[in-house]
Amino acid sequence: MLFLIAYAFYGRYLEKLWEVNPDEKTPAYKKEDGVNYAPVKHWSILFGHHFASISWVGPILRTVIDAVCWERCPTFLWVVFGSIY
């Protein structure tokens, strides 16, 4: 429930703050060179790249360390509020 509330209100706030334009092309299309900038054919490929190279280190490693040191409650709070933030 907390995720839905954060998505609805905090997401809308960030969208206005950063002046998000959903019709604007991404850098993968603007600067396409086939090496550093290349659009993907399916969203799952992009998700895999982000998960494997960027996203996993902070949230997962920190969660494992917290689970070992501090039990479950702080770990749960870290996952919920860290994901929202």
* Per-residue model confidence as pLDDT tens digits over 9-40: 988 999 999 999 989 998 989 999 988 888 88
b/e per residue, 25-43, with b = 16+ CB within 10 A?
eeeeeeeeeeeeeeeeeee
Q: What is the pTM of this model?
A: 0.45
Residue 24's pLDDT is 92
* Per-residue model confidence as pLDDT tens digits over 44-79: 877 777 766 665 666 677 767 767 776 777 777 777
Domain definitions of the chain by residue range: 1-39, 41-85
| Cβ-proximal residues to 3 (8 Å cutoff; 6+ apart), any chain | 80, 83, 84
Q: What are the DSSP calls for 51-63, one per residue?
A: IIIIISHHHHHHH
